[in-house]
Amino acid sequence: MKTTTRVAVIGGGVVGCSVLYHLTKLGWSDVMLLERSELTSGSTWHAAGGFHTLNGDTNMAALQGYTIRLYKELEEITGMSCGLHHVGGVTLADNQDRFDMLLAEHAKHRFMGLETEIVGPEEIKKIAPVTNTDGIIGGLYDPLDGHLDPSGTTHAYAKAARMGGATIETHCMVQETNQRPDGTWDVVTNKGTIHAEHIVNAGGLWAREVGAMAGIYFPLHPMEHQYLVTDNIPEIEAIIDGGGEHPHVMDPAGESYLRQEGRGLCIGFYEQPCKPWAVDGTPWNFGHELLPDDFDKITDSIEFAYERFPVLATAGVKSVIHGPFTFAPDGNPLVGPVPGVRNYWSACGVMAGFSQGGGVGLTLAQWMIDGEPERDVFAMDVARFGDWIGPGYTRPKVIENYQKRFSVSYPNEELPAARPNRTTPMFDTFSNLGAVWGQQFGLEVANYFAQGDEPTYETPSFRRSDAFEATAREVRGVREAVGINEVHNFGKYLIKGAGARAWLDRIMAGRMPKPGRLSLTPMLSPKGKLIGDFTVSCLSETEFQLTASYGSQAFHYRWLLQHADDSVSIENISDKRNGFQIAGPKAAAVLSACTRADLSDFKFLDVRRMTIGMTDCIVQRVSYTGDLGYEIYCDPMAQRNLWETLWAAGKPHGMVPFGMRAMMSLRLDKFFGSWMAEFSPDYTAAETGLDRFISFKKNVDFIGRAAAEEERANGTDRKLVAFEVDANDADVNAYEPIWLEGKVVGFCTSGGYSHYAQKSIAQGFLPTDRIADGLEVEIEILGEMRQARVISTPLFDVEGARMRG
């Protein structure tokens, strides 16, 4: 056995073999895979083997499309069969909400180039003749759906990897992973020790245990999953004898998926009375076993299936497959470099391995070899969860995700499991004021404050929700008087040291502010893609505060640490520095009433330390509302006292609390972008307009400079613009296609309703050469073509007089 390698991939399921293959495909041949038993042990061998492209995240859907197209390439490379059956698949909708979701997904597919189709009950009956379409409104047909041979596909990946120079060691159990001072790893196995530059944890059912060897907790949990294979069914035999094959059918109402298996059918369930497996750890001696049959938990599902697919009622059951597979709390994979641990990579939690495994392997290989993946993969980035997460949170969220696997996913839905979990000192106070809570990165965040007969629960919907009027009231309060909310949903970082300014100049593309000032700046990857949009506040020549997205703090903190040097200290203070934002025309009067500091020369983009009431604070003259406003930061231990001070000073001025629903409406008035909507690693600074904050004059080779300068010289093919939309009862959410002259020419990044201007507003990308103020386009919202026009004049404070005055 080899004793040194560039990469040691731990785990020989479909994901581990895909990672191994893609590393060789992209040029790293000194790689090896370590499998404790045989390839496909764990959850791969008993998988149903289905694949599909449908996914709420467009980049995940694109990677699933890549995975599916890859199988023919694997067959050509290796001469092995993956057992491909491209039979197509239809997802059913039995109510308007489910149909709205399919309409939204179909619209996304248009600009992605996926050829899906909305079909009615009669067409569904022709496509999938064993389906009872009573009560069905319609469905979404995808010709790429299908199934394959799990074992054959995994071995094809393995053979292709070997052909590229990779080594595979089976019956090689990893017992320890020990990191050396230089960041490389000693991987101790029953066959000896391997010195590896990088480790990839593709441990599947054992990913938790493999991670624990390095002191890493992976938020994963296995769930029991059961599917049935029937005896021969005459209706299926007739289709086969006619030269056809029955397509997949996904029935969300019945929590089931169905496909042809041989001359019968295979049907699996995501049942409500589900069961977590191996709560205290996956046994090392588990491998090619199955779990005992458990028909009790799927009794209701089977009865529903008999009504939807009547042929099942008279079919005998040939076999029952009941085995575990692993979920993360949101059901997406955990992929990428593990924050805080050098040269340790995750490829875990890929529960849909035959839909996603190829895309996961490609993404991780690009990340390792090129330093960044080609597309934004935050939806499966291991850094989307923080170090606060533990088994007590993971397990109920995994159960919830399993139960909702086929449920409608609404853009405004707030899932209840494991909540509230993390709260600020204001939680009880805000709850008493009527706060209706959402969550971000595990932290409770007020969406709005219900008053009178306003709903204390926001009903999930694809259309304008029942929180519409409450949000409008809060917007009016900010624009006409003064509003207050927390700044806890900002990620915050403290950069200190003699080299802080020089280091930030290299990390950030923008100008670094002088003491007492702040600036806005993009943070770029070497390829010029956006890694973040930051506010940089200079507290002194040796101390800077950075603020950005709270939900991306592990992602951003990982990047900062990866580029750190000895001249600076970097601390994530996201939960160590909290406070409030006050905004609106009376904000200055409120602040003046509770501090002795002189505010007469406190200009826009100034930052100062001052005492407010009894609380020492850092105050910044800036606001995401686009109004006159201040961000006020303090020690969380003093936050309640600061609240009493501000609230007492604000009441005579008509102060109102406002939440994130109002905040996201207010920002539309100024066309402000939002991280992971208008700004993400999919886009560049010039495409999004953030290039206006790049300091090309500074004599620093900042990260991404060459790419940004090239784009500056050559221009971009697309740019972000704002639209006024003639919407009905539904506004843009994200990824709706933009039509011009009968063709899809762009897509929306986000949108909503401006309660101030009483207009539906969207932002999105158009080809640069077609952009013109007033350009008429159409935006497809839930299957309807809505007229829209490009607008360039902000809806509020056009000259910035209130914000800057």
The tokens for 41 are 């042990």
The dihedral through the CA atoms of 436, 440, 442, 443 has a sign that is: negative
Co-location of 639 and 722 in the same domain = no
State the Cα–Cα distance between residues 116 and 126, nearest whole angstrom. Answer: 16
Residue 795 has what pLDDT? Answer: 97
Residue 242 lies in a domain: yes
Q: Is pLDDT above 70 for 27?
A: yes
Tell me what pLDDT residue 447 has.
Answer: 98
- Asked whether the predicted pLDDT for residue 289 surpasses 70, the reply is yes
Backbone angles phi, psi at 401, to 5 degrees: -65, -40
**Token pair belonging to 772:** 């013109």
In a domain, 347, yes or no: no
Residues 6+ apart with CB under 8 A from 411: 462, 733, 734
- Positive or negative, the Cα torsion across 517, 675, 627, 641? negative
Pair (552, 480) in one structural domain: no
Of 223, 401, 207, 394, whose CA–CA distance to 324 is shortest?
A: 223
Domain contains 372 = no
- Buried (b) or exposed (e) across 624-646, using 16+ Cβ within 10 A? bbbbbbbbbbbebebbeebbebb
Amino acid 154: pLDDT: 93
The mean of the pLDDT values for the chain is 95
Distance of CA 74 to the CA centre of its chain: 29
462 within 8 A of 100, measured Cβ to Cβ? yes
Sign of CA dihedral 369, 373, 374, 380: positive
Give the pLDDT confidence score for residue 47 in this predicted structure: 61
Contact 90, 127 (CB under 8 A): yes
Considering the domain boundaries, does residue 734 fall inside one?
Answer: yes
| Last residue in a domain, options 327, 347, 376 | 327
Q: Are 403 and 239 in contact (CB under 8 A)?
A: no
Residue 325 confidence (pLDDT) above 70? yes
Euclidean distance between CA atoms 77 and 627, whole angstroms:
60
Average pLDDT over residues 681-686: 97
**Which CA distances in Å does 516 have to 218, 496, 543, 608?**
41, 15, 11, 6
Percent of the chain with pLDDT over 70: 99
C-alpha pair distances (Å), 447 with each of 377, 484, 490, 633, 637: 26, 13, 15, 21, 23
805 pLDDT tier (thresholds 50, 70, 90): confident
- Could you give the CA distance from residue 307 to residue 309 in angstroms, rounded to a whole number? 6
CATH number for position 10: 3.30.9.10
The pLDDT assigned to 43 comes to: 63
Type and span of the H or E element at 198: strand 192-201
Residues 6 or more apart in contact with residue 686 via CB below 8 angstroms? 708, 711, 712, 715, 716, 719
Is-contact 334 349, C-beta < 8 A?
yes
Same domain, 233 and 283: yes
User: How many other CB atoms are there within 10 angstroms of residue 239's CB atom?
Assistant: 18
Burial group, residue 653, by CB count within 10 angstroms (0-12, 13-18, 19+): middle
| pLDDT at residue number 85 | 85
Nearest residue to 253 (alpha-carbon basis) of 216, 200, 308: 308
Q: 541 and 658: one domain?
A: no
pLDDT digits (tens, 9 = 90+) for 710-739: 999 999 999 999 999 999 999 999 999 999
Average pLDDT over residues 640-654: 98
Any bridge partners for residue 486, and if so which?
580
Spatial CA neighbour of 11 closest among 206, 297, 221, 295: 206
3-state secondary structure of 484: strand
- Domain around 596: 468-488+576-672
The winner for highest mean pLDDT among 98-112, 188-202, 310-324 is: 188-202
Provide the 3-class DSSP secondary structure of residue 729. Answer: coil
pLDDT at 212: 97
Residues 229-234 have a mean pLDDT of 94
Give the rounded percent of residues in the chain with a pLDDT score beyond 90: 89
The total number of structural domains in the chain stands at: 4
Q: Which amino acid is at 421?
A: N
Q: How much is the average pLDDT of 349-364? A: 91
Task: Give dist(CA 537, CA 539) in Å, integer.
Answer: 6
Q: Band the pLDDT of 150: cuts 50, 70, 90.
A: confident
- For 366-381, what is the mean pLDDT? 95
The answer to whether residues 186 and 131 belong to one domain is yes
Give me 517's structure tokens.
């000032």
Tokens of 371: 């330093």
Examine the fold and report which residue of 295, 327, 359 is the final residue of a domain before the chain moves on.
327
Give 41-61 pLDDT, tens digit per residue.
766 555 667 777 777 678 888
Whether residue 629 is found in the same domain as residue 765:
no
Query: Is the separation of the CB atoms in 548 and 490 below 8 Å?
Result: yes
Burial of 412 (0-12, 13-18, 19+ CB in 10 A): middle
Rg (CA), the chain: 27
Same domain, 41 and 175: yes
Q: What is the mean pLDDT of residues 201-211?
A: 97
The answer as to whether 449 is a domain residue is no
Confidence of residue 774 (pLDDT cuts 50, 70, 90): very high
> pLDDT-derived band of residue 648, with 50, 70 and 90 as boundaries?
very high
- Are residues 219 and 257 both part of a single domain? yes
Do 642 and 504 lie in one domain? The reply is: no
Asked if residue 558 belongs to a domain, the reply is yes
How many residues are given for the chain?
805
What backbone phi and psi angles, to 5 degrees, belong to 356?
-115, -15
On whether the CB atoms of residues 623 and 579 are closer than 8 A, the answer is: no
Query: Sheet harboring 607-612: ordered strands across?
Result: 607-612, 615-620, 629-634, 578-583, 482-486, 655-657
- The CATH number linked to 648 is 3.30.1360.120
Question: Rounded to whole angstroms, how far apart are CA atoms 311 and 132?
Answer: 10
Q: Are residue 633 and residue 778 in the same domain, yes or no?
A: no
- DSSP code of residue 458: P
Q: Which helix (H) or strand (E) holds 304?
A: helix 299-308
* Position 572 pLDDT exceeds 90: yes
Cβ partners under 8 Å of residue 233, min gap 6:
130, 263, 264, 265, 311, 315
In terms of Cα–Cα distance, which of 584, 592, 583 is closest to 480? 584
Q: Which residues does 552 contact at the CB level (< 8 Å), separation at least 6?
A: 378, 383, 384, 491, 532, 675, 676
Other CB atoms within 10 A of residue 723 CB? 25
Distances (CA, A) of 513 to 498, 571, 599, 675: 16, 20, 20, 22
DSSP of 244-301: --PPEEEEGGGTEEEEEETTEEEEEE--SS--B--TT---TT-SS--PPP--GGGHHH
Residue 613 has pLDDT above 90, yes or no: yes
- Confidence (pLDDT) at 42: 65
- The verdict on residue 368 lying in a domain is no
Do 184 and 106 lie in one domain? The reply is: yes
- Write the CB contacts of 48 (distance below 8 Å, at least 6 apart in sequence): 147, 227, 257, 259, 266, 268, 321
Find where tokens 């960041």 sit: 183
pLDDT top residue among 181 and 113: 181
Q: Which value, to the nearest 10 degrees, does the dihedral of the CA atoms of residues 324, 328, 333, 335 take? A: -120
Q: What is the dihedral of CA 757, 688, 573, 518, to 10 degrees?
A: -80
Position 45 scores a pLDDT of 54
β-pair type (185-189, 192-201) = antiparallel
Same domain, 159 and 298: yes
Asked if 78 contacts 714 with a C-beta cutoff of 8 angstroms, the reply is no
- Give me the pLDDT at residue 271, please: 93
Greater confidence (167 vs 489) lies with 167
Please report, for the domain that includes residue 752, its CATH number.
2.40.30.110
| SS3 of residue 104 by DSSP | helix
In a domain? residue 708: no
Picking from 266, 296, 327, the residue at the C-terminal end of a domain is: 327
